[in-house]
Structure 1
C-alpha cells in the first residue's frame, strides 16, 4: 500500500517547483546543491563511495545548470561563470580524492551564493510590494 504522506509530500514539492518564480527556482537549485554536497560528505565518512559519486555528480549537474542559465549579456555573468567553473572543478577533485575539505570549501562558496541570492529576492520583494502598497 502506498504511503499517503509520501504522495502528499511529492505533490507539494511538485507544486512548489511549478509555481516558483525564476528567483525562487535558483534558490532551490542552490539548496539542492548544498544537500547533495552534505550527503556526499556523509557518504565519504561511511565509505559508501558509489553513493558519494552519485551525490557529487548531482551537485555538479546543478552547478552546470546554473552556468547554462547565466545571462551572457549581464555583467554579473562574467564574474559568476569562473566561480561556478571553479566549484565544478573542485567537486570533481573531491570526487576523485574523497576529499572532505574540498567539499567543505565548495559548500561554503555555494552557501555564500545562496545567502546573497536569498537577500536579493527579499530586497526585490520588499521593493515590489513594500513601497506604496501597489503591486
Structure 2
C-alpha cells in the first residue's frame, strides 16, 4: 500500500511539472489525453460492472470537457470556430451523462471518437508548425 501511495505522489508531481512547463497548446493536448484516459477507465469499469468507479471516471471526463476544454475557448477571438466547439463540447458532455445514467457503452464510444478527432487536430497543429 505504501508503494502505491508513493507511486501516486510521484505521478502527481510528474503531471504537475508537465503542466507548469507546458505552453497553452500543450495544455489543451494534455486535456484531450486526460479526458480520453477517463473515458477508457469508464469503459473498463462499465464492462466490469463497477458502477461507482464508472460514475467517478465519467464525472472526471465531464469535468475535463466542461471546465478544461470548453472553459479554454476564446469566444472573442475564436468566433464561429469557438462557438462550434462549444456546441460540440456540450454534446459530448450530454453523451457522457447519458452513458452514465443508462450504463450504456455506445455514448461513451461516440464521445471518445469525437474527442479523438479533435485531439488529433490539435496534435497535427503542433506537427505542422502552426501551433506555438
Tell me the TM-score normalized by structure 1: 0.85
Alignment match, 2:74: 71
Alignment match, 2:110: 105
Residue-by-residue CA offset, 1:76-128 (whole Å, 9 max, x unaligned): 10211110000001100000001111100000000001000101122236x87
Name the CA distance, whole Å, in 1 between partners of 2:19 and 2:31.
11
1:1-135 aligned within 5 A: 3=3, 6=7, 7-65=9-67, 66-73=69-76, 74-75=78-79, 76-124=81-129
Q: State the 1:9 CA deviation.
A: 3.9
Tell me the TM-score normalized by structure 2: 0.87
Q: State the 1:2 CA deviation.
A: 5.3
Give the count of matched residue pairs: 127
Q: State the 1:5 CA deviation.
A: 7.0
Residue-by-residue CA offset, 1:43-80 (whole Å, 9 max, x unaligned): 01111000100000000001102111100111210211
Greater percentage in helix:
2
RMSD: 2.1
Q: State the 1:8 CA deviation.
A: 4.4
In structure 1, runs of 5+ residues without a counterpart are 129-135
Consecutive aligned runs of 4 or more in structure 1 exceeding 6 Å deviation:
none
Say which SS state the counterpart of residue 14 (structure 1) adopts. helix
In structure 2, runs of 5+ residues without a counterpart are none
- Rg: which structure is higher? 1
